[in-house]
Amino acid sequence: NLIDKIKGDSLRSGTVNIGEIMVIQVTKTDKDSTYRKIIQMVQEAQIHKAPLIRLADRYSSFFTLITLFLAGSAYLLSHDFSRVLAVLVIATPCPLILATPIALVGGMNAAAKKRIILKKLSSIEVLSRVTTVIFDKTGTITLGRPFIKDIVIKDTSFTEDEVFAISASIERNSLHPLAKAILEEAKKRKVIHHKVLNVKEKIGSGISATVSGNTYSLSKVKEYEGMAIQLLKNNTQIAIFEFEDKIKQESKEILRQLKSLGLKLYIFTGDKKTATQNVLEQLEERVTVRSEMTPQDKKEGIEILKNKHKITAMVGDGINDAPALAYADVGMVFSNEEHTAASEAADIVFLAGDFSAVTSVIAISKRTIHIAYESILFGIGLSTLGMIFAVFGFIPAVAGAFLQEAIDIAVIFNALRASK
């Protein structure tokens, strides 16, 4: 976010100065820094994450009871211990033991092929049951930099290209992000730059220069709530530039796909409501938005959702998202070397910047768990059927041993489909 500071204002650690040289007085140690507090919140969130109930645990007790019941029935019907032995031989636990981990590893490999790194196998199971997805806005749904939204000509003696030519000629001397947006648009229009003299930039106020004997300046527009600057000629307003942070090209379609899966979508952002409203207009989707949130606010917002028995996934890309990423049931982050804390806090890391990776990893997770369930039920079903035949003496113990191995192999091959 672009924030103007004057003498006496406080600064956070990690603030990037794009203006003049400043003298800063340190008033707190690193223990009190925002970064340190974020790291502390991440550590606390990781400690308090709920343990995962594995798929095998849900079926093991049930299968054991079936096995004991059928073994007992075999003895009561025949008083023949060979039938009991045949039942116990066929009762293979391998579908419970092998199907889930093989399918999960396969799902992890399928994700890796799409440059999605799952740091924990358990993330696949949790993500397959997710009900609510929370997004950071800047850099996740949007491109994270300003673009020209509109230009309003106030003096009709100037054309748009002339305004861009003068403005770009002046802004070439500035490092301000809005200056870069003007230069980018001017380049697209292929305007010819003017010779400028007496360039003066006052941080927080604007930049001015002499062009063709006239004094031109670019400064903030006070009456605009969003990002906007004005071009003045000899203190007379010539034009107003309006800026916006554009959504990523694929954002609208990805959010639509997630909505079609029945997921509830939220945007948690530290930006002001005006900037957030502009993004909502671009998305054209029903998304619940909460603005002006601190890292602590984001974490508490997810806590409220979890208390309502929602299974949450957080998608972010920066240090401010780290506590929320750690506290969510599943944290997903777009890889960024500048924000290692966010990557450390997340369970899933997207190495590519493609926003479609979010839907891809959810689809992979759902398919993987479906195959795991299918493998378990298939194996347990065949094993149970074989035990029933063994109860009545149709399958002896030796044949039961071969049947057990055949069931195990079939389950393994079926679970391996998750890697495709």
Alpha-carbon span 179 to 145, nearest angstrom:
11
Residue-wise pLDDT for 302-343, tens only, equals 999 999 988 999 998 777 788 888 889 999 988 765 556 667
Alpha-carbon span 134 to 316, nearest angstrom:
9
Ranges 21-35, 162-176, 197-211, most confident: 162-176
Lowest-confidence range among 73-82, 260-269, 359-368?
73-82
**Distance of alpha carbon 331 from its chain centroid, rounded?**
7
Alpha-carbon span 116 to 356, nearest angstrom:
11
Mean pLDDT of the chain: 85
- Give the ranges where 27-93 is alpha helix by DSSP (H): 34-47, 55-78, 81-90
Lowest-confidence range among 12-21, 23-32, 251-260?
12-21
User: Would you place residue 35 in the very low, low, confident or very high pLDDT band (cuts 50, 70, 90)?
Assistant: low
**Distance of alpha carbon 51 from its chain centroid, rounded?**
22
Per-residue pLDDT at 215 exceeds 60: yes
Alpha-carbon span 345 to 322, nearest angstrom:
6
Give the model's pLDDT for residue 358: 93
Give me the mean pLDDT over the 205-226 stretch.
86
Per-residue pLDDT at 3 exceeds 90: no
Q: What's domain 145-245's architecture?
A: 3-Layer(aba) Sandwich (3.40)
Give the model's pLDDT for residue 238: 94
**Listed residue (43, 45, 35, 49) closest to 319, CA to CA:** 35
Alpha-carbon span 330 to 316, nearest angstrom:
11
In three-state form (DSSP H/G/I as H, E/B as E, the rest C), the secondary structure along 8-41 is CCCCCCCCCCCCCCCCCCCCCCHHHCHHHHHHHH
Compute φ and ψ for 51, nearest 5 degrees: -70, 150
Residue-wise pLDDT for 49-70, tens only, equals 544 446 566 677 788 888 889 8
Count other Cβ atoms within 10 Å, centred on residue 356: 16
Give me the mean pLDDT over the 209-219 stretch.
92
Contact 383, 92 (CB under 8 A): yes
Give the model's pLDDT for residue 45: 47
Alpha-carbon span 344 to 381, nearest angstrom:
41
Residue-wise pLDDT for 78-121, tens only, equals 888 888 898 888 887 777 788 888 898 899 999 999 999 898 88
Q: Is 80 left (phi over 0), alpha (psi -120 to 50) or beta?
A: beta
Give me the mean pLDDT over the 381-406 stretch.
90
pTM above 0.85, yes or no: no
- Where are the domains positioned within the chain? 33-130+311-420, 145-245
In angstroms and rounded to an integer, the radius of gyration of the C-alpha atoms of the chain is 31
Q: Comparing 205 with 347, which gets the higher pLDDT? A: 347
Per-residue pLDDT at 36 exceeds 70: no
Residues forming a β-bridge with 312: 132
Q: Comparing 389 with 41, which gets the higher pLDDT? A: 389
Give me the mean pLDDT over the 251-255 stretch.
89
| Tokens 């944290």 -> residue | 331
**Distance of alpha carbon 346 from its chain centroid, rounded?**
9
Interior angle at CA 50, CA 137 and CA 262, nearest 5? 50
Give me the mean pLDDT over the 270-280 stretch.
80
